[in-house]
DNA sequence: CCTACCGATCGGTAGG
DNA sequence: CCTACCGATCGGTAGG
């Protein structure tokens, strides 16, 4: 009787520890700037040992992205499937996606740019995982368009929405003045053409007094 | 009489050749994956020569970003300043920004993530250049909000809009079915809560038949 | 999973 | 701006 939790060949838990450490480091420092030694050290291994679990650094990235996307998709489905009203469902999806993104649960979209380092076949696998993640979104957008709540659900809409959401990783700070709930509400408001209704989001129109409070990059 | 076009110390044209090559390569392959040898070769120099013009690889990145942002801001101002109607002005700004971004004129926002490689002082300089680029946007958004055309111009609005626009670099393909003008129109439509009015943007609500035509990543 | 190590590459510099 | 080069780092492997 070994001490593993589940009966699996080498040591499945070490493998997923490596994956989580790799994902975190890739987000923090980028794929190229993260060394396999960094990853090994983060889980208490020696420099050569990650290669016992993964053939290459690229495979670590691929596995981390696909794993993260699938976990995120599952979380999305779980918090969303039971909601019948499309607007309420979209609100929950936006909130869940921002959580995936900004609370460290599924930073995969932040790593999209790093797939440059992968070859075509690996990129295709990742693109398929992204497709699965996006599936429920298009459906909900079309329901909203059919109900007249959303002006258009033509293809660019979903991609522009993801842009709005995913770009938050470039400027949102958890210690800033905006909570995740308020941010989600702002996204919905912009998308549906309404003023945000959550408390505290609004600021007097003249605002400014030192530009904006949020960290200010593009 | 030397053969330079302008009377400047070392050789100003070689310097800007290096900057343009560096910007292009950094966008293509990322900062870390681009070697100073790549950059040298792109302008026909030997491996050590870029360091005659720039102290370090980091300085190349910093100069390329700031130069690109200032050129882009100038282009934005030029195509925009004379337009009095705020909605028409925003439309022109969106179109100009997408041109900066996607037609290779000012890829600086695509390099935002690469500033990880820089130290705090360099990042601050770049943030200041981004601020200057964003200045005219906030004003126009506030005019639109005051006129009731836009639901809210509170701080997140501008950042969410930039997200929508900047993320297009992750999925837009010039050889796809969507022209830049149509894309700009889609952005405006989403922002102002209207159906896109340009020709060809719309697709029958059921669309699909193989997911979407645009390259499909988050 | 560790020890020991290799081959290649890279940013940067000396010295013209 | 070139030649020649250094020191350091890095992904990956052999061989247990």
C-alpha to C-alpha distance for B184 and B166, rounded to whole angstroms: 12
Q: Are A67 and A18 in contact (CB under 8 A)?
A: no
User: In this predicted structure, what is the pLDDT of residue A211?
Assistant: 38
- Give CA separation, A126 vs A65, A70, A95, A198, B218, in Å: 7, 10, 23, 36, 10
- CA A121 to C1' D1, in angstroms, rounded, equals 42
**pLDDT (mean) for B138-150:** 96
**pLDDT (mean) for A81-100:** 96
Q: Say whether pLDDT at A210 is over 50.
A: no
Question: Residues of A42-66 as b/e, b for ≥16 C-beta within 10 angstroms?
Answer: bbebeeeebeebbeebeebbbbbbb
**Tokens 């050290």 found at:** A41
- What is the value of pTM for the model shown? 0.87
pLDDT in tens, A121-150: 999 999 999 999 999 999 999 999 999 999
C-alpha to C-alpha distance for A41 and A55, rounded to whole angstroms: 18
C-alpha to C-alpha distance for B153 and B146, rounded to whole angstroms: 9
pLDDT in tens, B58-69: 999 999 999 999
> Between A and B, how many CB-CB pairs are < 8 A?
183
User: In this predicted structure, what is the pLDDT of residue B2?
Assistant: 42
User: In this predicted structure, what is the pLDDT of residue B189?
Assistant: 96
Closest residue to D10 (CA to C1') is: A35
Q: Kindly indicate the confidence band of residue A105, based on its pLDDT and cuts at 50, 70 and 90.
A: confident
Q: Are A8 and A25 in contact (CB under 8 A)?
A: no
A 167-186: CB under 8 A from B:
167-168, 170-171, 178, 183, 186
- Our CA-based measurement puts residue A217 at a distance from the nearest CA of chain B, in whole angstroms, of 6
Q: Are A111 and A72 in contact (CB under 8 A)?
A: no
User: In this predicted structure, what is the pLDDT of residue B10?
Assistant: 66
Q: Is B55 exposed, middle or buried (0-12, 13-18, 19+ CB in 10 A)?
A: exposed
**pLDDT (mean) for B144-153:** 95
CA B80: distance to chain centroid? 16
User: In this predicted structure, what is the pLDDT of residue B202?
Assistant: 44
**Tokens 């593993």 found at:** A4
DSSP secondary structure code for residue B47 in this structure? T
A56 CB and strand D closer than 7 A: yes
User: In this predicted structure, what is the pLDDT of residue B56?
Assistant: 98
- Identify the weakest region by mean pLDDT among A22-26, A193-197, B61-65, B173-177: A193-197
User: In this predicted structure, what is the pLDDT of residue B216?
Assistant: 46
Q: Say whether pLDDT at A214 is over 90.
A: no
- Residues in chain B with CB shorter than 8 Å from the CB of A154 are 186, 196, 201-203, 207
Paired tokens of A24: 């975190």
- Identify the weakest region by mean pLDDT among A148-152, A209-213, B13-17, B182-186: A209-213
User: Of all nucleotides in the shown strands, which has a C1' nearest the CA of A54?
Assistant: D12
**pLDDT (mean) for B112-121:** 94
Give the mean pLDDT of chain B: 88
Nearby residues of A80 by Cβ (< 8 Å), 6 or more positions away: A89, A92, A93, A96, A136
Paired tokens of B20: 């343009």
User: In this predicted structure, what is the pLDDT of residue B105?
Assistant: 81
3-state DSSP helix/strand/coil % of chain A, to nearest 5: 60, 0, 40
User: In this predicted structure, what is the pLDDT of residue A104?
Assistant: 81
**pLDDT (mean) for B73-91:** 95
Paired tokens of B93: 């700004």
A 42-61: CB under 8 A from B:
none
User: In this predicted structure, what is the pLDDT of residue B7?
Assistant: 47
Q: What whole-number percentage of chain B has pLDDT above 90? A: 77
Q: Say whether pLDDT at A200 is over 80.
A: no
A122 CB and strand D closer than 7 A: no
B171 CB and strand D closer than 7 A: no
- CA A146 to C1' C9, in angstroms, rounded, equals 57
Q: Are B101 and B178 in contact (CB under 8 A)?
A: no
- Our CA-based measurement puts residue B127 at a distance from the nearest CA of chain A, in whole angstroms, of 6
The residue ranking higher by pLDDT, A194 or B24, is B24
- Residues in chain B with CB shorter than 8 Å from the CB of A145 are 205
Q: Say whether pLDDT at A161 is over 50.
A: yes
Helix, strand or coil for residue B31? Answer: coil
User: In this predicted structure, what is the pLDDT of residue B209?
Assistant: 34
B201-208's contacts with Cβ under 8 Å and 24+ in sequence apart are: B201/A154, B201/A156, B202/A152, B202/A154, B203/A154, B203/A155, B205/A142, B205/A145, B205/A146, B205/A153, B207/A154, B207/A155
Paired tokens of B10: 């070392």
Paired tokens of B39: 């950059």
Whether B116 and A212 lie within 8 Å, measured CB to CB: no
Give the mean pLDDT of chain A: 88
Q: Kindly indicate the confidence band of residue B210, based on its pLDDT and cuts at 50, 70 and 90.
A: very low
Q: Say whether pLDDT at A113 is over 80.
A: yes
Chain A contact present for B129, CB below 8 A: no
User: In this predicted structure, what is the pLDDT of residue A10?
Assistant: 66
């Amino acid at each position: 009787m070994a001490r593993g939790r589940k009966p699996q060949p080498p040591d499945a838990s070490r493998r997923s520890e490596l994956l989580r450490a790799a994902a975190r480091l890739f987000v923090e420092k980028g794929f190229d700037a993260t060394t396999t030694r960094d990853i090994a050290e983060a889980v208490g291994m020696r420099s050569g040992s990650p290669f016992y679990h993964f053939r290459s650094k690229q495979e670590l990235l691929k596995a981390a992205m696909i794993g993260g996307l699938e976990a995120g998709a599952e979380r999305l489905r779980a918090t969303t499937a039971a909601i019948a009203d499309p607007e309420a469902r979209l609100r929950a999806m936006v909130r869940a996606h921002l959580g995936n993104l900004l609370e460290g649960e599924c930073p995969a979209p932040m790593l999209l740019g790093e797939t440059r380092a992968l070859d075509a076949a690996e990129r295709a696998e990742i693109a398929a995982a992204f497709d699965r993640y996006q599936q429920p979104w298009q459906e909900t957008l079309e329901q909203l368009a059919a109900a007249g709540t959303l002006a258009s659900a033509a293809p660019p809409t979903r991609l522009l929405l993801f842009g709005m959401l995913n770009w938050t990783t470039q400027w949102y700070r958890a210690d800033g003045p905006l909570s995740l709930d308020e941010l989600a509400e702002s996204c919905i408001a912009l998308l549906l053409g309404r003023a945000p209704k959550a408390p505290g989001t609004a600021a007097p129109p003249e605002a400014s007094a030192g530009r904006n409070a949020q960290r200010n990059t593009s």
